[in-house]
Every structure is written in C-alpha cells, then in structure tokens.
Amino acid sequence: MPLRTRNTLKALGLKRRNQVAYVKCCTTSADSLAQVKELVKVEVTDVKKTKQEVNSERKWSTGFDLIKNGTQKVGVENQKTRMLEEQGVRGAGSCGEMVSEQDVRGVGSCGEMVSEQDVRGVGSCGEMVSEQDVRGVGSCGEMVSEQDVRGVGSCGEMVSEQDVRGVGSCGEMVSEQDVRGVGCCCEMVSEQDLIGAG
C-alpha cells in the first residue's frame, strides 16, 4: 500500500478491513477519495447509520426469512395447502363437505350436513332428522313426529302425536285416546273406555 494511501486511510480512521467511517468533507474531496483503490465504496449520506444497519445491508439476501424463535417475518403461501377456517370443525361428512360450525353429534349416511341443534338420531335414508327431541324413527326412514312418541306402527307410518299404548295387528293407527283392548277383527276399537273386547 502506498504511503499516500495509507495516510489517507489513517486520516479517515480506517484501521482494519470491513470498517465504515463517516467523515465530513466537501464534494471535491469525496471525488478524490472515490479514486482510492482500497476504498470499496464512497458515497455521500445525510444520516449516519449504526453498525447494525450497516451489517444488515452487507448481508446476502436469500429472498425469504427463516423461522427463528417461533416467529416468521415473511409468510410464504403453499399453493397445495390452504388454510382452514378459523372456527372449530369437529367432523366432516362422507362426501367431504364441511360440517356445521356448531356442535354436531352425527352425520347422515349420505354425508349431508346435520341440523345445528341437538340431534339424537338420523333416519336410515340419511335425511335430516327433526331439530327437536326425537326418540324413534320409522322403519321406512321418514321423519317421526316432533312430539313425544312411544311407538311406531309395523308399516312405518307416523304414529299419533298423543299418548298411544297399543297398535292393532294390522298396523293401523289406534285411537288417540286411552284404549285398553283391540278386537279380534283388527278394526279400530271405540274411543271410549272399554274393559274388554269381543
């Protein structure tokens, strides 16, 4: 290194490699400093940068930031993966459709969305059961009455909404009132109080 260049670096305060120094000078002296081969970069700045800012500028940029300490500055989206909804989903139907966001206890066999309210059973055909309390479903899978039902006829038809104690052998609907017996011909017994049947 020539003596003149060495004195120039010493005057600037540069004693080692990869060192940055801020010096107040005019434009002509800055042009002369730019011709020194040992100086990598000479520029005019208004604000003095800190060592951290200078080191961050020197670092080689990869185009993305790595994940450190559980934080990620730049989010990279994967085209094959899509983020699910923010709310909680407990299950999905067999057809892959999204189940309701509320509490769902069962899904029909066809994979359709079950009612958002409390459902205890699903029909055999997979149709949506009533939103109220249902205790039984007919053999044909049709929706049972929304009220309290204790029995279903053999043909799977909907039983009366009131209290029914018995069903005829032919599967027809028994009277809606209190019936104690059914005739041998399977016809509907009288609606009044009967002690015995023929």
Whether the pLDDT of residue 8 is over 60: the answer is: yes
Question: What distances in angstroms separate CA 85 from CA 70, 88, 97, 99, 122, one per listed residue?
Answer: 22, 8, 13, 12, 27
How far apart CA 57 and CA 75 sit, in angstroms, is 22
Radius of gyration of the chain (CA): 43
The arithmetic mean of pLDDT across residues 61-71, rounded, is 56
Assess if residue 175 is contained within a domain.
no
Assess if residue 123 is contained within a domain.
no
Residue 33 banded pLDDT, cuts 50, 70, 90:
confident
What pLDDT is attached to residue 118? 43
Assess if residue 13 is contained within a domain.
yes
The arithmetic mean of pLDDT across residues 110-138, rounded, is 46
Contact at 8 Å (CB) between 33 and 41?
no
The mean pLDDT value of the chain amounts to 56
**DSSP 8-state class, residue 188:** P
Assess if residue 137 is contained within a domain.
no
The arithmetic mean of pLDDT across residues 61-81, rounded, is 50
How far apart CA 142 and CA 128 sit, in angstroms, is 10
Assess if residue 193 is contained within a domain.
no
Assess if residue 21 is contained within a domain.
yes
What pLDDT is attached to residue 117? 46
What pLDDT is attached to residue 141? 46
Assess if residue 80 is contained within a domain.
no
How far apart CA 75 and CA 53 sit, in angstroms, is 23
> How many distinct structural domains can be found in the chain?
1
The arithmetic mean of pLDDT across residues 20-37, rounded, is 78
What pLDDT is attached to residue 80? 41
Under DSSP, is residue 183 helix (H, G, I), strand (E, B) or coil? coil
Domain extent for 16: 3-46
Instruction: Count CB atoms within 10 A of the CB of residue 190.
Output: 12
The arithmetic mean of pLDDT across residues 112-122, rounded, is 47
How far apart CA 167 and CA 130 sit, in angstroms, is 24
- From first CA to last CA, the distance across the chain in angstroms is 131
What pLDDT is attached to residue 96? 45
Under DSSP, is residue 118 helix (H, G, I), strand (E, B) or coil? coil
- pLDDT (tens digit per residue) in 80-99: 434 444 444 444 444 444 44
Whether the pLDDT of residue 50 is over 80: the answer is: yes
What pLDDT is attached to residue 29? 79
What pLDDT is attached to residue 7? 80
Residue 126 banded pLDDT, cuts 50, 70, 90:
very low
How far apart CA 43 and CA 54 sit, in angstroms, is 13
Under DSSP, is residue 2 helix (H, G, I), strand (E, B) or coil? coil
Assess if residue 15 is contained within a domain.
yes
